[in-house]
Amino acid sequence: MTIHREGRTFLLAVLLILAGINFTLWYLDVHIVFYLFLALSIVMMGLFTQFFRVPNRKLTNDPTLVVSPADGKVVVIEKVFEDEYLKEERIQVSVFMSPFNVHQNRVPVSGTVEYYKYHVGEYLVAYHPKSSQLNERNTAVITTAGGTKLLMRQIAGAVARRIRFYLKEGQKVEQGQELGFIKFGSRMDIFLPLDADIKVAIGDKTKAGVSILASLKE
């Protein structure tokens, strides 16, 4: 396990602040308060550290499969009309990430980034039905070697107000490659072809780069 680069400066800053407060409390000889705050500091550092962790994983590598781009829980599986870029009906699968999940996002299929756009938006709770259209978000389309286009969307939530997308239009990407990062809980949507064979159900837990969402017919 390693610590993601998005969290290293943050964790160092939090550690220094907490250490300073604990030292001050000890110096002022308020030992009961010191021990209580020390315990709180340890819990806080543990929570923040697990949030920014990047676990070692054996990634799925199969061009016929779509892997989950995020850790979390499947909260949506439904047919929708994708009106931003594809302009056609798709099966939307959404994965909700709680603050306790790993928040590194991964590429679901190998291919080429055909489209990318950042959208300024609101900060509704990520499981809100309209968050996919109204919240701050990144949208990207990856075209596979067989010509299938997959649209995916990183969505900020009520707490997550910093989303990072590391890929660029025209870039060739590999399944399981790092895609981006969302801080402190949010959601990822992926829009699959109607003939995709969905392999998950509502409530299933997923791991980015490992769990299979669907198989493709190419």
As annotated, the active-site residues are 186
How many CB atoms are located within 10 Å of the residue 153 CB? 24
- The single-letter code of the amino acid at 18 is L
Return the SS3 of 94: strand
Alpha helix positions (H), the chain: 5-27, 31-51, 131-134
Residue 181, CA distances (Å) to 38, 101, 108 in order: 30, 12, 14
Cα 62 to chain centroid, rounded: 21
Q: How far apart are CA 214 and CA 65, in angstroms?
A: 6
The token pair at 15 is 């550690």
Q: How far apart are CA 118 and CA 153, in angstroms?
A: 10
Closest to 67 measured CA to CA, from 95, 108, 28, 106: 108
Query: Which residue matches tokens 């997550």?
Result: 160
